[in-house]
Amino acid sequence: MKLLELAIAFFLFLASHLMLTGCVAAYQVTLYLHNKCPFPIWPATAPNTGYPVIADGGFYLPSGQTHCIYAPLTWSGRIWARTGCKFNSNWKPACETGDCNGRLACNGLIGKAPVTLVQIALQENQSKSSFIDVSLVDGYNIPVSVTIRQRPEQCTIRGCLQSVNDVCPQELRVSNKKGKVVACKSACLAFDNDIFCCRNAYGTPEKCQPSVYSKIFKDACPCYYSYAFDTPPPLVNCASEEYAITFCPSGWGDAYISI
């Protein structure tokens, strides 16, 4: 009897785990995408040249839900979140931020900046390093954290101390039709000049220094790239087959961010 109960309990545990996460792991990298924002998002992925599209390039993720996507053990590309999307109309763009030609499945297309970008370069070969970072080099839309599921203490990129949208200067703001600030451009994206974009005469770490604008990004999100030659603590030597990527990691508007 005890054994049967144990077996049933184990089965229920397995079933609920599968129902909760719907994730399976096998010879690939599993990315758990959590939406802790109090609004729906439409995560999107785009591979770098030479790598396959994963998860069709984009999908719907309601508030409070988790969705697993899978990448090859060696893969390189970007992940971002789209917000404020309506795909049932013929309007282009379909999303207030991160839109890819009005499509739900970006299928390899990159999103329209500004968005908070998770940049990933995974290596199957253990003697090479896997890199993950979060970039605001083109701007910001919502906060994100990245962590290794087994070793969150050593291997975490934290979210932001506050929303950049709340402190975004007028000249960098992106607002929706209701006038709400939904994203914040980087100075490089907004003004397209060499000083902010670290190009030409400013194309070295010595010449390209933080600006008043990049400092606003850095103060709000110290763990992200705030300009091209920024040096946030990188996520290296954290190779894993299970990563968690959490959008709005502490909910929304909280003072401090957990994972």
Residues that bind ligand NAG (CB under 6 A): 125, 127-128
138: left (phi over 0), alpha (psi -120 to 50) or beta: alpha
**Residue 93: is the preceding peptide bond cis (ω within 30°)?**
yes
Query: Nearest approach, Cβ of 85 to ligand NAG (angstroms)?
Result: 40
Query: Nearest approach, Cβ of 125 to ligand NAG (angstroms)?
Result: 4
Q: Which is nearer to ligand NAG, 128 or 180 (CB)?
A: 128
Query: Nearest approach, Cβ of 218 to ligand NAG (angstroms)?
Result: 33
Handedness of CA 104, 108, 109, 115 (dihedral sign): positive
Report d(CA 26, CA 147) in Å as an integer: 19
Report d(CA 174, CA 165) in Å as an integer: 9
Q: Which is nearer to ligand NAG, 124 or 219 (CB)?
A: 124
CA angle 34, 36, 38 (to 5 degrees): 140
Query: Nearest approach, Cβ of 52 to ligand NAG (angstroms)?
Result: 19
Q: Which of 115, 147, 94 is nearest to 46 (CA)?
A: 115
Q: Which contiguous run of DSSP H or E holds residue 212?
A: helix 212-220
Q: Which is nearer to ligand NAG, 32 or 131 (CB)?
A: 131
Q: Which is nearer to ligand NAG, 73 or 259 (CB)?
A: 73
Q: Which is nearer to ligand NAG, 60 or 131 (CB)?
A: 131
Residue nearest to ligand NAG (CB): 125
Query: Nearest approach, Cβ of 74 to ligand NAG (angstroms)?
Result: 10
